[in-house]
Structure 1
């Protein structure tokens, strides 16, 4: 029963309704970098060197970002960010921030699917989830954290979140 309560509290702490500003994905994407390469035939743009990607309240920082638009179809972009680590910051509808980091992040705009790989960490109001892979299906409000071969998923819940969810 105690495990069930902790799992329920974790879901409440990191609920999808509090994840992002509702209109972030409807905003234009702005990317600044030191360099850019465009492959017109493959519809791939590669940004390298101090890459900053912004979309609404989303702020991604990486060493390299690759944006792919299959067959030139707008709204079905795949964004891959690489860094040591790549980081992201986003403001939720309630005004509270959420931060994450991983060596690789992949966001599929058409399916609203985010996958963070290699030393992935997600932080919200001091609580953390760490694992080899953290996947989040935004529209279904489902988060999955997976461990590596010799590690386990680690979750740290702050007492203030546990106490505020009891009300």
Structure 2
């Protein structure tokens, strides 16, 4: 077998690695997130609906919890029916999530505070240092610092020859 054939076979094996599968597990965030930490929200506008126990923040929304930051054009906050704290956040419009050195962008993010899971959908882009992955959906588990990318996962592997 010639060198070129060996190189071609090795390249095809590399392309069939889990990174290119329909779902892949990746690390997310340098630290484990404290989902019991207080949530701080700032925005240009706030409207509250007492009947549905919801608040809608609009315009330059920035949310912080511990070392995590989420920004979006609009975020709807749903409070627990007991009135004790936040149950979930639903962010739309240019959503960016930053945790430690990792950052993710998407069209939408749904954050369930109780189980510490964020589901990002719509043109998801995850950057980790110089590496980047794209997918249709990313599920981040803040309790263990992992993320699962699903739906046409794609990345470019750097060979170090640049």
Bin the TM-score by the shorter chain. Answer: 0.7 to 0.9
Residue 5 of structure 1 and its aligned partner are, at CA, apart by 9.5
Per the alignment, residue 67 of structure 2 pairs with 57
> How far apart, in 2, do the equivalents of 1:42 and 1:68 lie?
8
Q: Which of 121, 125, 128 in structure 2 is aligned with 1:121?
A: 125
Counterparts of 1:158 and 1:26, CA distance in 2? 38
Unpaired runs of 5+ in structure 2?
1-9
RMSD: 2.8
Answer 1 or 2: which has greater helix percent.
1
Q: Where do 5+ consecutive residues of structure 1 fail to align?
A: 92-96, 161-167
Q: Please give the TM-score of this superposition, normalised by the length of structure 1.
A: 0.73
- For 2:155, the equivalent position in structure 1 comes to 155
1:39: Cα distance to partner?
1.3
Q: Provide closer, same or farther for how the CA distance between residues 73 and 154 of structure 1 changes in structure 2, counting only shifts above 3 A.
A: farther
Q: CA deviation at 1:156?
A: 2.8
- TM-score, normalised to structure 2, is 0.75
Q: Which residue is equivalent to 1:90?
A: 99
Runs of 4+ in 1 over 6 A off after TM superposition: none
- 1:1-167 correspondence runs (5 A): 2=13, 6-7=17-18, 11=25, 14-15=26-27, 19-72=29-82, 74=84, 77-83=87-93, 85-91=94-100, 97-139=101-143, 143-147=147-151, 152-159=152-159
CA contact (8 A) 2:33 2:142 kept: no
Secondary structure in 2 aligned to 1:106?
strand
Higher RCO (CA < 8 A, seq sep 6+): 2
Distance 1:99 1:43 in 2: 30
User: Residues 126 and 157 of structure 1 are in contact (CA less than 8 Å); yes or no, is this contact kept in structure 2?
Assistant: no
